[in-house]
Amino acid sequence: MTTSYDADVVVIGSGALGSNAAYELAKQGRSVILLEAGSRIPRWKILENFRTSSRKANFNDPYPNEPWAHTSYDPEYLENTGSFNFRPGMLKLVGGTTWHWAAACWRYLPNDMKLKTLYGVGRDWPIDYDTLEPYYQRAEEALGVAGNGDEDQSGQGGKAWPPRSQPYPLPPDATTYMNQQLVKRLAPEGFHYIHEPNGRVTRPYDGRPACCGNNNCMPVCPIGAMYSGDMHATHAENAGAKLITEATAYKLEKGAGNKIVAVHYRKPDGSDVRLTARYFVVAAHGLETPKLLLMSDVANSSDQVGRNLMDHTGIGLLMIGDEPLWPGRGAVQQGGIFNWRDGDFRKQHSAVKHSMSNAVPNRTITERLLKQGVIGPELDEGIRHDAARWIDVGTVFEMLPSPTNRVTPSDKKDALGIPMLRVNYDVDDYVKAGKEVAKKDYARFAKIFNAQIVEDESGWQNRDHIMGSVIMGSDPKDSVVNGDCRTHDHDNLFLATTGVIPASGVINPTLTGVALSIRIADTINKEI
């Protein structure tokens, strides 16, 4: 008997990962339905919301926060029970959170994927760098990554690394005066300042204009030079995929042979819809994906769904240097210091990455001076002086997976009666040891720039890099998906989320997530 399906593949979540998977499937002729809990909002509307808002520091504020699709800054959305207030800046709309990311597109190093073997801590990936390399290239082409392929991104000042089969799709942006001066003063002290590969195009590419340095990437690129996931949601539609918005998936239905046979979603009016498919891809980011699996009682024979949550939890340094550097011209990030990215030290403490923000600092500086009672012409002069010399260092640490760092469905319900999120999250001694290394670097930075310290005890900070919550591994007893991102328990259920990443390193995980998602599409295309 022939079985009739609503689609070959249902993809749940229209962020960068889900939309790239949907596009790769649709352009191969597969029938694809792409579900999105949030709405579709035009760029001009988000930009208008930002320009008219008095809450410029809240990067979620210009975006919709619906009773059935909350942003993560809604206090009702995410309940914390651990020692750390885990609250990454996640969005729910077509295109997802890449609407307001910094667009850093680093690759993992081969050693990052062999952490347990080389350094005796954490976990190894079940696949190696060579397996993922062709998909890194395709992901970079999809996102329009501009980068410098001649640098040693391990931070050791050696040959170009990691290995690449082809150059970056686009040349790097011109080095700003600020970054020229940072390199000039940091390099003699042994710090390797490396250009950041970035999903912000340096010439017209895939219908996008070249970046003109609005310095407004977070919360929204006004012209669409920076990549956002809605671009591939549109590509998927143009290739034949069907996009359904305001559709919150709340149940995956199991059938014969332990296959997933349907997804159930709820609309804002409370009505329910059941969709069937041959394959299902859950791409609902690293918090909502495990929540959906746990609510559905699927893929959890290992009891690892929702556990091992990681987020590059970091700290920050603010200081005023001794010469004008003029931050705020060009992209909000252009580089970082990677001296502590890889080495035997990882047996004792976490890897460390320092990034130098290039965002316009005037709002922060003005608020600080006003709190000091500075007003009138003195305030104007103070803003001009401090803004030119402002140095904002953001540091991230390599996390290790811990089963007690965990996301679960909350007892609280949204407007549709669907559970919201509960997170238990603590920072472990491996990261705390890395912090001691970072603080020694902070003291050296301050000395190099003869700086006045504004803040060097920021406390732990969110970094919005969700990993580990549906962890990848070769053993079904201690992991959720295998090296293909296929769940161990259901051979037609794949997870397209950075939540599969088992060893976090110190790099932003989105490019890797897109690479894995394209690979998922290739696997499904071979099997259908």
Question: Which amino acids are annotated catalytic?
Answer: 465
Cβ partners under 8 Å of residue 72, min gap 6:
60, 78, 87, 88, 89, 90, 91, 287
Hey, is 168 helix, strand or coil? coil
What is the number of other CB atoms lying within 10 angstroms of the CB of residue 487?
27
CA 308 to chain centre: 17
| Residue pair 348/436 in contact by the 8 Å Cβ criterion | no
In the chain, the N- to C-terminal Cα span, in Å, equals 17
The Cα 131–Cα 144 span in angstroms is 21
User: What one-character DSSP code corresponds to residue 345?
Assistant: G
| Residue pair 78/72 in contact by the 8 Å Cβ criterion | yes
Burial 435-470 (b: 16+ CB within 10 A, else e): bebbeebbeebbebbebeebebeeebbbbbbbbbbb
Cβ partners under 8 Å of residue 300, min gap 6:
293, 294, 480, 489
The first and second tokens of residue 4, run together, are: 């009739």
What is the number of other CB atoms lying within 10 angstroms of the CB of residue 212?
10
Closest CA to 398 of 337, 354, 351: 351
The Cα 323–Cα 182 span in angstroms is 11
